[in-house]
């Protein structure tokens, strides 16, 4: 209860509905769950023969099978031969987007259709073992509606932290409305130029239910006519956005590919840098010094260059990706080696939802130890959300978000792509 109250102060009532109206299983029962091993997302180590007690959607005790017996009347879940982990966290998704709708194909998607996409994709994401997501950019407030419908138990999906419409400059990546000629006068909902206009957009997003603020401090790969290396927003504008968000207790995620825009965003005090493709030594140093998190989507390039054209991605975007993908992977390794805080952020929605875990093996391949990759997708992501102890960990008082794989995920990270068990808030969705 504590967890949801902290995430969404107004959703306390919604959470009690979830407990009483869910059709998956009753959560007022006590569950005794045991497995062969458990990934401890704090230490990054495996622990043998764990046993847990779960009640009211929360983990109430974590111990070993020899020290903890099942209480009388408890529901027993015995995951023999399996390793349990905290439910995974993807810090960069767009649940309202479909990977098949890119470029001009996206123009046919109404906000209402986007919301329905979200219902489909929320379930896919949960069944893939992602029990928490940060949704960084959605049309209108479809993401707020989706988050609330999930929290109220109407539809299955992960815990969601949402940004509402991203805030950006006229013609910029966060506007992403550059496809039609000027007579259509199409403007992104979050378009604002100047510090006060940008502050006003932050206030509007908070008013309608955002949990965080998403902005763009450089151009992007998939937006027509923007340059990945070009800064967007001045430091003055970015500082206004960050000050306004922080004063309301919200964190700020900034899309930033280019070297200068990354540094601008860090100097302005953003909490997470998205993509970080052309981050240089100064940027890495600044991120380390300020404790900012890097969310580098090093899997998505494979989808964009492999299947993007058929999905409608413009040739100019494919060309931008060709210039960006490898550099981003090289810089990922530099950031890891420098001790920067790395979180799992995949940009799901650009590629199909449910494939989120494919990035884990790429993070290992491009230079991060497997236990650190799993921490980036659990406890470190939870820190970046401001939800340490609530999600991303198997510990007392955390939400009972637990997945299981058939084997040792530290030796074979690909196992995470096919979890055999998914529990969220004490409810079993896959077994
Ligand atoms: Zn994105």
The model's pLDDT over 55-68, given as tens digits with 9 standing for 90+, comes to 999 999 999 999 99
Distance 273 CA to ligand 1 centre (A): 11
3-state secondary structure at position 40: strand
State the CATH number of the domain containing residue 200.
3.20.20.140
Distance 322 CA to ligand 1 centre (A): 17
213 and 68, same domain (yes or no): no
**Does 373 map to a domain?**
no
51 and 200, same domain (yes or no): no
- pLDDT value at residue 39: 98
pLDDT in tens, 211-234: 999 999 999 999 999 999 999 999
Distance 298 CA to ligand 1 centre (A): 12
Structure tokens at 177: 């409305």
Using pLDDT thresholds of 50, 70 and 90, give the confidence band for residue 26.
Answer: very low
Using pLDDT thresholds of 50, 70 and 90, give the confidence band for residue 372.
Answer: very high
Q: Provide the residue range defining the domain that includes 26.
A: 2-87+390-430
Among candidate residues 278, 242, 244, the one with its CA nearest the CA of residue 261? 278
What average pLDDT score do residues 376-402 get? 98
d(CA 64, CA 206): 43
179 and 318, same domain (yes or no): yes
pLDDT in tens, 244-285: 999 999 999 999 999 999 999 999 999 999 999 999 999 999
Distance 94 CA to ligand 1 centre (A): 7
Mean pLDDT of the chain: 93
What average pLDDT score do residues 16-22 get? 35
268 and 397, same domain (yes or no): no
Q: Please give the sequence-ordered ranges of beta strands (E in DSSP) within 184-271, or none if there are none.
A: 212-216, 251-256
Distance 39 CA to ligand 1 centre (A): 29
Distance 220 CA to ligand 1 centre (A): 9
Q: Is 42:379 a contact under the CB 8 Å cutoff?
A: yes
Q: Please give the sequence-ordered ranges of beta strands (E in DSSP) within 65-172, or none if there are none.
A: 75-86, 88-93, 130-135, 159-162
160 and 266, same domain (yes or no): yes
Tell me which of 356, 380, 407 is where a domain ends: 356
**Does 362 map to a domain?**
no
- pLDDT value at residue 11: 37
How many residues would you count in the chain? 431
Distance 21 CA to ligand 1 centre (A): 34
Distance 346 CA to ligand 1 centre (A): 8
92 and 82, same domain (yes or no): no
Would the pLDDT of 156 be above 80?
Answer: yes
Query: Which ranges constitute the DSSP H helices of 71-141?
Result: 111-127
Distance 48 CA to ligand 1 centre (A): 38
**Does 372 map to a domain?**
no
d(CA 54, CA 63): 12
**Does 361 map to a domain?**
no
Using pLDDT thresholds of 50, 70 and 90, give the confidence band for residue 368.
Answer: very high
Distance 345 CA to ligand 1 centre (A): 9
d(CA 312, CA 238): 32
Distance 76 CA to ligand 1 centre (A): 40
Question: 217 - beta bridge partners?
Answer: none
425 torsion bin: left (phi>0), alpha (psi -120 to 50), beta (else): left
pLDDT in tens, 200-217: 999 999 999 999 999 999
Distance 274 CA to ligand 1 centre (A): 8
- pLDDT value at residue 5: 38
70 and 191, same domain (yes or no): no
Using pLDDT thresholds of 50, 70 and 90, give the confidence band for residue 177.
Answer: confident
Q: What does pTM read for this prediction?
A: 0.94
- pLDDT value at residue 9: 37
Distance 395 CA to ligand 1 centre (A): 31
Lowest mean pLDDT among 21-25, 35-39, 295-299, 407-411: 21-25
19 and 94, same domain (yes or no): no
Distance 396 CA to ligand 1 centre (A): 33
Structure tokens at 106: 């996206």
Question: 351 - beta bridge partners?
Answer: 348
**Does 245 map to a domain?**
yes
302 and 321, same domain (yes or no): yes
What average pLDDT score do residues 179-206 get? 95
Tell me the residues surrounding ligand 1 (ion) with CB < 5 Å. 347
**Does 309 map to a domain?**
yes
State the CATH number of the domain containing residue 35.
2.30.40.10
204 and 320, same domain (yes or no): yes
- pLDDT value at residue 25: 46
Using pLDDT thresholds of 50, 70 and 90, give the confidence band for residue 185.
Answer: confident
143 and 247, same domain (yes or no): yes
Q: Is 187:169 a contact under the CB 8 Å cutoff?
A: no
- pLDDT value at residue 27: 54
* Domains contained in the chain, number: 2
Using pLDDT thresholds of 50, 70 and 90, give the confidence band for residue 10.
Answer: very low
Distance 277 CA to ligand 1 centre (A): 13
- pLDDT value at residue 316: 97
Distance 357 CA to ligand 1 centre (A): 16
**Does 345 map to a domain?**
yes
Using pLDDT thresholds of 50, 70 and 90, give the confidence band for residue 186.
Answer: confident
């Amino acid at each position: 209860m504590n967890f949801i109250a902290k995430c969404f102060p107004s959703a306390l009532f919604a959470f009690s509905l979830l407990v009483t109206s869910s059709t998956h299983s009753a959560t007022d029962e006590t569950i005794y769950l045991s497995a062969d091993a458990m990934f401890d997302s704090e230490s990054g180590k495996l622990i043998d023969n764990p046993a847990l007690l779960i009640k009211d959607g929360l983990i109430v005790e974590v111990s070993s099978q020899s020290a903890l017996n099942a209480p009388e009347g408890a529901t027993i879940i015995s995951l023999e031969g399996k390793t349990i982990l905290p439910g995974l966290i993807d810090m960069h998704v767009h649940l309202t987007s479909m990977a098949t709708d890119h470029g001009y194909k996206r123009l046919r998607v109404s906000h209402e259709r986007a919301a329905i996409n979200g219902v489909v994709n929320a379930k896919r994401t949960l069944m893939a073992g992602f029990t928490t997501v940060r949704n960084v950019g959605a049309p209108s407030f479809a993401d707020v509606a989706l988050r609330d419908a999930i929290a109220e138990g109407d539809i299955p999906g992960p815990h969601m932290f949402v940004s509402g419409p991203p805030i950006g400059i006229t013609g910029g990546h966060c506007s992403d409305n550059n496809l039609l000629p000027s007579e259509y006068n199409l403007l992104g909902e979050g378009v604002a130029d100047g510090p006060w206009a940008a502050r006003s957009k932050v206030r509007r997003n908070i008013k309608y239910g955002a949990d965080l603020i998403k902005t763009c401090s450089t151009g992007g790969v998939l937006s027509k006519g923007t340059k990945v290396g070009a800064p967007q927003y001045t430091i003055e504008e970015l500082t206004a956005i960050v000050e306004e968000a922080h004063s309301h207790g919200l964190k700020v995620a900034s899309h930033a590919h280019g070297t200068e825009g990354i540094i601008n965003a860090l100097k302005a005090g953003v909490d997470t840098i998205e993509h970080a493709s052309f981050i240089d030594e100064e940027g890495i140093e600044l991120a380390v010094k300020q404790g900012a998190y890097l969310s580098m989507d090093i899997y998505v390039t494979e989808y964009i260059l492999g299947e993007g054209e058929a999905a409608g991605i413009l040739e100019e975007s494919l060309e931008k990706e060709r210039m960006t993908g490898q550099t981003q992977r090289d810089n990922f390794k530099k950031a890891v080696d420098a001790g920067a805080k790395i979180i799992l952020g995949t940009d799901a929605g650009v590629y199909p939802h449910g494939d989120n875990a494919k990035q884990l093996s790429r993070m290992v391949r491009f230079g991060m130890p497997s236990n650190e990759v799993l921490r980036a997708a659990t406890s470190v992501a939870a820190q970046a959300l401001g939800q340490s102890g609530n999600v991303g960990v198997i510990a007392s008082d955390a939400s009972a978000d637990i997945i299981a794989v058939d084997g040792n995920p530290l030796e074979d990270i690909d196992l995470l792509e096919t979890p055999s068990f998914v529990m969220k808030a004490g409810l079993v969705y896959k077994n």
